Structures are given as structure tokens and as C-alpha cells.
Chain A
Amino acid sequence: MRAFLLSVLILAGCSSPAGRPHGPTARRIVSLLPSFTEILFDIGAGDRVVGRTTWCDYPPAALAVPSVGDGIPPNIEAVAARQPDLVVLYKSGPNVTAAKQLERIGIRTVLLDLNRLEDLGPAARTLGRLTGREKIADSLAGAMDSLAARPPPPATASITFVVWDNPPIVIGRGSYLHQIAALAGARNVFADLAAPSAQVSLETIAARNPDWIAVLADSSVMPGFAKRPEWQAVRAVRDRHFLLLPGSLFGRPGPRTAQAVAELQRLLRK
């Protein structure tokens, strides 16, 4: 008991303010975002991941790691039961609260932004420092930074990402998917929306007349709204010009982002 209290005190002493990590190299990590899990495996720290979310399905080796739930919000006890010395969380309101609770029981946490391409480099570098894999993390971060800085090619097609159909919710320029589309040479017709996503009228989609309707899908089945009568006013829906993008590859920024861009390019050429 005393030893436990002592270790809690020591760990509490080591805990650092979120975002400015230092201290010992992490040995037991719980990753609470699929992107973090992918980065950790990519930089060769996958063997130290002792907990993941149910969404962390890549690389396949990650599936062997015990899941601590869906992570929104994190189940503190399930996370603590993995006895981690580091918990990596996506920086959001509920997660800030969760991180404070974890710190209170002596578990070091780090909160990282991961909304857009340019967040990938810093996230990879931070995770590299925390795991003592700086070198390989730096090279990953370099690749990510150059991808984020790459000037987009001239657009050859226009696209709308439909997140939800009733009411219609589309992706704006604040989203990572907008960046992927731009790099693949597709012009998001809702680039004028600063938000990552927003509810719009169906007639706006019809009037902006995208060549393609992109949806994140985990199967090759057409989305349900493809057959709704009101959606037939959109030319791309009438022509069945759907891009069904696998959620695991397209739904998250990560080491496979370049692959996602290449895949979208391939689909657009078809």
C-alpha cells in the first residue's frame, strides 16, 4: 500500500502539463484515438501500446491490443486497469476532463490536436519524444509536414462529402477530408464553409452540382439516400456518381494519409 502511494506520488511528480511532455520514456501506453494508434505502430512503439479504442483497427497488429471501449468519453477505470504510464488523448472538452481525472490517480496524460493534416507532424514528434523513438518519428513527421505543405494540383473534378443525408450535412474547408480532396485534385464545392461540417439545403447541393458525391462507408453498398426521390435532383446522385470511401482509411488523419490521397486519385480517374 505504501509502495503504491509512493509510486502515485512519484508519478504525480512526473506528470507534465498536457502538450509539453518530458520525463521517462513511456512503456505502457493507452491510445485513445485511431490516429495515435497508427502513429505509435508506425514509429515502432506498437509493442508498448497496452490499450486502444474499439475504433483502432489499423494496423492489424493493433487488434491484438485489449480495447478499453469506444473512448468517447474514455472509461477512466477501464483505462486505469491497463496500468498505463501514459495515456494519449485527442484534445477535446470531455477529454480534458478525463485527462485531469487520470492525472489525479497518477497516470501521465498527453492531449494532442489532430484535426487537420498539419497537426500530424507535431503529433508524431510528440509521440516520438514520449516513446524515445525521436528519429523515426521525425522522419514520419517530415513526410507528413511536406504532404501538408504540398501545393494542391489543379482540380480535375468537383466533389461533395455527404456526412449525413437528412438533414444534409456536408464537409467544409475546416475538415481534413477537404484537404485530402484538394491534394487528390478534387474541388470541394463547399469550400466556402469555414466549419469542418455544416447542415445545408439539398437545393444548394443540387445547384453546386458536384461531379461526385463522396461518403465514408464500410461496405460497397450504395448509401440509403441514393434512392430517395428528393436526392434525384442532384445530378451526381442521378448518375450514381458515388465515391464510397473506406472509413478506416479516409476517416482519420494518420501515417496512411498519403495512401488515402492516392486512393482517392485512383477512384476519381475511374
Chain B
Amino acid sequence: MKWALLVTVAVLALVASVAVGPAAVPLGELLRSDIVWNLRAPRALLAFLVGGSLGIAGAALQALVRNPLADPFLLGLSGGAGLGAVLAIALHLSGPWALPLAAFAGALAALALVYRLGLIGGAALDPRILLLGGVAIGAFAAAITTAIVSLADASELRNAFLWLWGGLSSASWDAVLVIVLYAPIPIAVLLAASRPLDLLALGEEPARYLGADVDAVKRRVYLAASLLTAAAVAVSGVIGFVGLVVPHLARLTWGHRHRALLPAAFVGGGALLAIADTLARTVVAPRELPVGVVTALIGVPVFTLLLRRWTIA
């Protein structure tokens, strides 16, 4: 029942984001329109895939660091991606894929640094060190980014921040294809770790007693979730809130079993971002809202309602 409802919502969200938009396309021409076929459809799919990736990555990372505040971007990735993007603009790297590739490289660099920090002193990815290291690396990257933006001559660098705040306006079939080919691998790794993640929630020692290879699982989950997030940030900037709230929504409804929780977080995150992006494109048309604003405006009320029901029950 829960699943039927969630899948229905997701399908409706996808249909709505293809059918509705600021440009008036008659229903009869929906399938033949260039706008629908080359702009709306890839954008709807990219929204779904990015939202889903952030949702599942957030759910896995929250379990890994055992902290409800964990967010896929908390571990320094947004700072690294932003630095990469701003460097690409400052160095006048041109080419249609320069910006996403630079952002991806920046996110990977941050990921590697935080991962290395997590191994400090023989600690096997201590959650506290991961969180602190992530925040520190992120802040450091953000400081360098701001320094570049304030020192560089190019006034267009100011606009790099706009990109960083997130949005799906660069959606194309190419971007969808890249994510479709890329995302299944880390997603499969996360799904395969469902059972050990359940055990990890009990604490690392009990998980070890119950037969989980804790260190290997932590490494795999951290890398898979981060690689997923790095790809998401490369194609859509930092879209906040999906990776934080959707896992909690899923947990409130599906419980703590990751076998159900992770897929639910994926479909839920995809549906939320598809709905949010449709609203962002249409409610103030012909203007457009940053999609992160809409995800928060929808996500927070739903979250507080569920939180209330959950605490009262």
C-alpha cells in the first residue's frame, strides 16, 4: 500500500513535469513538441535521478555516521564541487562539459581528502572524524572559492554562485545518459550493503559480533554514497534538503530496515525533486525559482507533520 502510493506519486510527478511548463504546449502536440521532447523530458528524468541519488546517498550516510543531521553535502563535497566550478570559470576553461567535469573533479578531490582524514591514526573511518573532516574541508574549499571570486576580474564569477545553489536548467539527454550509466553502480553497492547497514545501526561492536565486516562496509558505503553525490552535484549543483529530509521521511514510514528504506529514499527523493522542479518552473513563470528553495518549502512542512505524528504515536 505504502509502495503503491509512493510509486503513484512518483509517476504522477514525472508525468506532471513533462506535461506542465511555462511554455504553452497543446495537449495534442505534447509528444511531438521539441520543447517537451528535448527540454522537459530530460529535465524531468534528470530531476528524478538526481533527487533519487541524493535521497539514497543521504539515507546511507545517515546510517554510516549514525547522525540524523548527515546530508550528502555535509562531507565536504559541495565545497569541493564549488571550488572546481569556480576554478573552471576563472581559468576560462571552455567547452560544454567544462563546468560539470570541473565540479565533479573538485568533489572527488574533497572526497579523497575527507576519506584520507577518516583513516587518520589507523581509525577505520571514524564517523566523528568523517563529519568533522567533511565540515573542515568544505569550509576550507569554500574559503578558497570566495577568495577567487572576490579577487578575480571576471564579473561572471559572481554567477558561479548561482550555479552552485543548484538547478536543473542544464538538463539534456546527454546528462541523463551519463547519470543512467553511472548511478546504477554506486546504487547497487548501497543496496547490497542493506543488511550490514541495519547491523551498523546497533553500533560498530555489536555489528562486528553479528558478522558484519564493518570496516569494509563503511568504506564501500562512504565511497558509493559520495560518488553518487559527486555526480549529482556535477549535473545540477548543490540542491539542498532532498538528501537530508527524504531519508527521514522514508524512515518514519518504512522503518529502519535498509532493504526497504534505501529504495524508498530513492523513489521519494526522485519524486520530491521532480515535483519541486515543476513548481520552480511554473509558479512564478516566466521567471523561475531556484529549485532548492522549493524543495525546502515542500519538504519542511511535510517533515514537521510526519515528525509530529511520529512523536505523538
Contact = CB atoms under 8 A, between A and B. Distances in A.
A230 B172 contact: yes
A167 B162 contact: yes
Interface in A190-238: 190, 192-193, 198-204, 206-208, 221, 224-225, 227-230, 232-233
B94 A233 contact: no
A54 interface: yes
A164 B172 contact: no
Contacts of A169: 159, 162
Contacts of A198: 286-287
Contacts of B285: 201, 204
A200 B38 contact: no
B44 to A, nearest CB: 12
A200 B286 contact: yes
Interface string B144-178: 00000000010010010011000101111110000
Given A201-B22, A224-B96, A233-B38, A192 B286 contact: yes
A224 B95 contact: yes
Given A207-B35, A232-B38, A166 B163 contact: yes
A225 B40 CA distance: 18
Given A164-B156, A164-B159, A203 B39 contact: yes
10 contacts: A54-B153, A163-B159, A200-B286, A201-B22, A203-B22, A224-B98, A228-B172, A229-B96, A229-B174, A230-B172
Interface of A is mostly: mixed
Interface in B108-132: none
B5 interface: no
A209 B163 CA distance: 24
Given A199-B287, A227-B96, A167 B35 contact: no
Contacts of A168: 169, 288
A204 B22 contact: yes
A70 interface: yes
Interface of A: 54, 70, 163-164, 166-169, 190, 192-193, 198-204, 206-208, 221, 224-225, 227-230, 232-233
B307 to A, nearest CB: 32
Interface string B284-303: 01111110000000000000
8 nearest CB pairs, A to B:
A207-B23, A229-B172, A230-B172, A167-B169, A164-B159, A227-B96, A203-B39, A167-B167
Contacts of A227: 95-96
Best-buried of B22, B39, B95, B171 by chain A (most CB within 10 Å): B39
A232 B21 CA distance: 18
Contacts of B170: 166, 228, 230
Interface residues of B, number: 34
Interface of B: 21-24, 34-35, 38-40, 42, 94-96, 98-99, 153, 156, 159, 162-163, 167, 169-174, 281, 285-290
Interface of B is mostly: loop
Nearest to B36: A203
Contacts of A192: 286
A221 B173 CA distance: 26
A207 B29 CA distance: 14
Contacts of A221: 94
B39 A206 contact: yes
Best-buried of A208, A229, A232 by chain B (most CB within 10 Å): A229
Given A200-B286, A203-B23, 9 more contacts: A169-B162, A193-B287, A198-B287, A201-B288, A204-B288, A207-B35, A224-B94, A229-B172, A233-B38
A187 B286 CA distance: 17
Contacts of B287: 193, 198-200
Best-buried of A168, A207, A221 by chain B (most CB within 10 Å): A207
Contacts of A199: 162, 287-290
Best-buried of B162, B174, B287 by chain A (most CB within 10 Å): B287
Nearest to B280: A201
B61 to A, nearest CB: 27
B169 A166 contact: yes
A246 to B, nearest CB: 15
B288 to A, nearest CB: 5
B177 to A, nearest CB: 10
Best-buried of A166, A192, A221, A233 by chain B (most CB within 10 Å): A166
